[in-house]
Amino acid sequence: MAATIQALVPRMRDICGAGNVITDPLDLRTYECDGLTSHRCVPALVVLPGSAAEVAAVVALCAQAAVPFVARGSGTGLSGGALPHESGVLIVMSRMRAVVEIDPVSRRAVVEPGVTNLAVSKAAAPFGLFYAPDPSSQVVCSVGGNVAENSGGAHCLKNGFTVHHVTGLEIVTPSGELTWLGDGTGVTTGYDLLGAFTGSEGTLGIVTKIVVKLMPVPEVVHLLLVAYGSTAEGGRAVSDIIAAGVLPAAIEMMDALAIEAAEEAVHCNYPAGAGAVLLVELDGPAAEVEAELTTVRAICEAAGATEIQAADDPAERAGIWAGRKSAFAAVGRISPAYIVQDGVVPRTSLGAVLARIAELSADAGIRVANVFHAGDGNLHPLVLYDDKVPGQAEAAEKVSGAILDACLEHGGSITGEHGVGVDKSRYMPRMFGADDLDTMQLVRCAFDPAGLCNPGKIFPTPRLCGEVPGHRRAPHPAVVAGQAEIFLYGHRTGLGLRRPPGSCRRLPVAHRRHCRRRGGGGGPLVRRLAVVDRRGVGAAAGGGRGRARGGAARRRDRARLGCPAVTLRPGGGPALDGPGGGARGRRPGSAGAGRRDDRAAGRGVRLSRPATGARRPGRGNRGRGGRHRHRRAAAVPLWCPA
């Protein structure tokens, strides 16, 4: 355990109580991953605070010691959003599980973040109310985690996501202060920070209390199970239902492979031999639902349904839902390993994208099972592979990436409800431009300028907060002077040009492997401005072998560049040096962050592999071709005062 963390332990014990601070390496391993087990990282320390005040004290302590921290609810996330930091504190919220208050007249409940999703509905049931967001993991997932991920669920088609059902949040800011966002009513005064916070994947602070809306339990609920020969026919029915002006509570679809898995796991008795089943649930006032039911039945039949089963009593409905809700786990029975994707497409493109997925699957020889929220176009392709067969994992990964590309080509999104986390941060540049990501990170900088709160998530390249605040004034002087070029993993994009869409597709597998070796933390993509050796500047700045340069050499480099340069520190990431500021010349506003371990702090300028001192023995400079040329050069920040 690092000395910094070691020093925190007694103080953490004072705050949370000795029994709620975990330091034993075996116990720590319990927390090495969330629901996405392919990313693992043992945290340096785990604390389980019991109150908002304790969370605030823990966070304040971390902020003071510049130690990264990650909040964790029930650990059911599917994107590695709660993946711990190897040299950080994991703050587990599971002891804070009280339903503080229910006001049935106002239809509001106040709950603590560790309360499970279903527990809120159970507590509200005596009043004829329920909590609408219902992710499949609702028996165990926490409301705090739902807020972080803006969770949906099968019924969000009609009822909306977590963000539509949260009206107030008590949070601990990344500097350790307790504050409220939203006034608890759902009416916004000033900026809608409540809305911006919800779905920020734990990167803007830690939730300690949540005010949620409750909804009246619907008068009647009808579930239709409709069998089709193919997903294309089912997809047509979905479009027709919505086009008819009917908004069902949920429309779910499963393809033949997913049905096979579910049948094997829970014997849900779906129609035998169906190429696809559609689950359509209608709820609301009895007078409306009867009419909608007739419309939907007619549409389903017209679209070529081979069989329709209807269920209106809770037990029957639960039986049918069991097949759908168990599908992810059930797939484990027909495949030793699988990747869950979460891409979204406009509903009208469902057929085209499903056909593309089938094509990709056939080409690669990788089976793909489809279980998805058809009503809102949220696909969950389960890419099946055998990790014991060499090359299959890579092939599956490739198919999985190509599926996301197909979603984006049709104007969709890389994630509908699972979040970006560490898993999909590398895909973010496929969906958003550099300016878009930069703008999002302005919010991050406002909440968490030090970059300590759940670092390495969502963004492939963390922003340097506290540089020239929020603004890129001009191209880097070195670029203007023709002394430098912008490189994106070795891809030259020209002077001042931004990352071309899709450039990161060329991300070497080796780099991802490296990230995994390092413990899975950290976004795999680092955009850098590399100073290349045109007039000997690059070699000088980087010392040729990635070694740190002495003060005199550094000053010489700066004089040549006429701008701030970044030099390598022995055994760590690069540090920033301001113009004329010598070794202590940090930029105004960087608040001393430049000296901290950049990787630990989740800052923007870093190397794709550990610098010299941290390099693994025996790996040296071997085997690095042109692609890694930039490693010998120094990285300098992209934002720079003119």
Partner 1 sequence: MVATGTAGPRRFRYGAPRDLLIGITVVRADGVVAHAGGKVVKNVAGYDLGKLFAGSQGTLGVITEAAFRLHPLPAAVAWVTAEFGPAERAGAVAAVAAAAGSPLVPSAVELDWPGGSQRPLRVGVLLEGTGPGVAERAKQMSELLAAPGGAVSVAETAPARWGVLPSSVTMVRVSFWVSALGPVLDAVAVAGADAGVRPAVSGPAGAGALYACLDPGTSDEDAVRFVTALRERVAGAAWGAGGPRGGVTVLTAPPSVLTATSDGTVPGLALMRAVRDQFDPDHRMFPGRFAGGE
**Per CB under 8 A, which of residues 359..378 are in contact with partner 1?**
373, 376-378
The correct pick among 163, 206, 353, 532 for binding partner 1 (CB under 8 A) is 163
397 three-state secondary structure: helix
Token pair recorded at residue 242: 């919505």
Nearest distance in Å: CB 45, partner 1:
27
Specify the residue, 460 or 572, whose C-beta has the smaller distance to partner 1. 460
Specify the residue, 388 or 473, whose C-beta has the smaller distance to partner 1. 473
Q: Please list every residue from 174 through 233 that binds partner 1, using CB under 8 A.
A: 179-196, 198-200, 209, 211, 216-219
Specify the residue, 186 or 508, whose C-beta has the smaller distance to partner 1. 186
Task: State residue 537 phi and psi, 5-degree precision.
Answer: -70, -45
Q: Please list every residue from 378 through 417 that binds partner 1, using CB under 8 A.
A: 378, 411-417
What is the Cα 489 distance to its own chain's centre?
23
Cβ distance 438 to 174 under 8 Å?
no
Cβ distance 503 to 460 under 8 Å?
no
Nearest distance in Å: CB 406, partner 1:
14
Q: Please list every residue from 416 through 445 that binds partner 1, using CB under 8 A.
A: 416-420, 424, 428, 431-433, 435-440, 442-445
Nearest distance in Å: CB 251, partner 1:
12
Specify the residue, 326 or 413, whose C-beta has the smaller distance to partner 1. 413
Specify the residue, 28 or 237, whose C-beta has the smaller distance to partner 1. 237
Cβ distance 211 to 106 under 8 Å?
no
Q: Please list every residue from 530 through 569 that binds partner 1, using CB under 8 A.
A: none
Burial of 260 (0-12, 13-18, 19+ CB in 10 A): middle
Nearest distance in Å: CB 428, partner 1:
7
Nearest distance in Å: CB 171, partner 1:
8
Token pair recorded at residue 542: 């980087």
Single out the residue of 36, 33, 70, 32 nearest to residue 418, CA to CA. 36
Nearest distance in Å: CB 207, partner 1:
12
Nearest distance in Å: CB 353, partner 1:
12
The correct pick among 31, 69, 131, 161 for binding partner 1 (CB under 8 A) is 161
Specify the residue, 393 or 443, whose C-beta has the smaller distance to partner 1. 443
Nearest distance in Å: CB 527, partner 1:
16
Cβ distance 629 to 542 under 8 Å?
no
The correct pick among 19, 25, 126, 245 for binding partner 1 (CB under 8 A) is 245
Token pair recorded at residue 610: 């550990």
d(CA 535, CA 475): 20
Single out the residue of 301, 97, 127, 310 nearest to residue 222, CA to CA. 310
Nearest distance in Å: CB 161, partner 1:
8
The correct pick among 50, 229, 275, 346 for binding partner 1 (CB under 8 A) is 346
324 three-state secondary structure: helix
Task: State residue 375 phi and psi, 5-degree precision.
Answer: -60, -35
Specify the residue, 138 or 146, whose C-beta has the smaller distance to partner 1. 146
Nearest distance in Å: CB 81, partner 1:
10
- CB neighbours of 160 closer than 8 A, spacing ≥ 6? 132, 133
Specify the residue, 45 or 504, whose C-beta has the smaller distance to partner 1. 504
Q: Please list every residue from 281 through 340 that binds partner 1, using CB under 8 A.
A: 284-285, 287-288, 290-292
Nearest distance in Å: CB 140, partner 1:
20
d(CA 519, CA 516): 5
d(CA 75, CA 81): 9
Single out the residue of 349, 405, 389, 388 nearest to residue 372, CA to CA. 349
How many residues form the binding site for partner 1 (CB under 8 A)?
A: 98
Nearest distance in Å: CB 440, partner 1:
4
525 counts as binding partner 1 under rule CB under 8 A: no
d(CA 577, CA 569): 11
Q: Please list every residue from 104 through 143 that binds partner 1, using CB under 8 A.
A: 104-108, 110, 128
Contacts 24+ apart (CB under 8 A), 359-363: 360/399, 360/402, 360/403, 360/406, 361/399
Strands 368-373 and 250-255: antiparallel
Q: Please list every residue from 567 through 626 that binds partner 1, using CB under 8 A.
A: none
Single out the residue of 415, 406, 367, 369 nearest to residue 389, CA to CA. 367
Burial of 614 (0-12, 13-18, 19+ CB in 10 A): middle
Specify the residue, 442 or 583, whose C-beta has the smaller distance to partner 1. 442
The correct pick among 10, 314, 365, 469 for binding partner 1 (CB under 8 A) is 469
The correct pick among 17, 50, 160, 229 for binding partner 1 (CB under 8 A) is 160
